[in-house]
Amino acid sequence: VTPSASFIDDLGADSLDQVELVMALEEAFGLEIADEDTEKIVAVQNAIDYVVAHVKISR
């Protein structure tokens, strides 16, 4: 798995897998990912970038 790996093309995910991935990200990081944003999470790096941009770090 590399940052540029596409969930569908490189990792063999289907649309249900993508929904489950988004749900897992939401649960793991306490996020609510909008539908329009889920369409943009197509590769590993997209998921990383989204989480980094939206997770609030408590200090």
Q: What is the pLDDT of residue 56?
A: 83
For residues 58 and 10, what is the distance between their CA atoms, to the nearest angstrom? 35
Which residues, including other chains, have CB under 8 Å from residue 25's CB and lie 6 or more apart? 31, 33, 41, 47, 50, 51
The CATH number of the structural domain formed by 1-59 is 1.10.1200.10
What is the domain partition of the chain in residue ranges?
Answer: 1-59
For residue 6, the 8-state DSSP code is: B
Q: What is the pLDDT of residue 33?
A: 96
Q: What is the pLDDT of residue 23?
A: 98
What would the pLDDT profile of 36-51 be if each residue is shown by its tens digit?
A: 999 999 999 999 999 9
User: What is the band of 6 on the pLDDT scale with cuts at 50, 70, 90?
Assistant: very high
Catalytic residue among 14, 35, 37, 49: 14
What would the pLDDT profile of 7-46 be if each residue is shown by its tens digit?
A: 999 999 999 999 999 999 999 999 999 999 999 999 999 9
Q: Is 17 a catalytic residue?
A: no
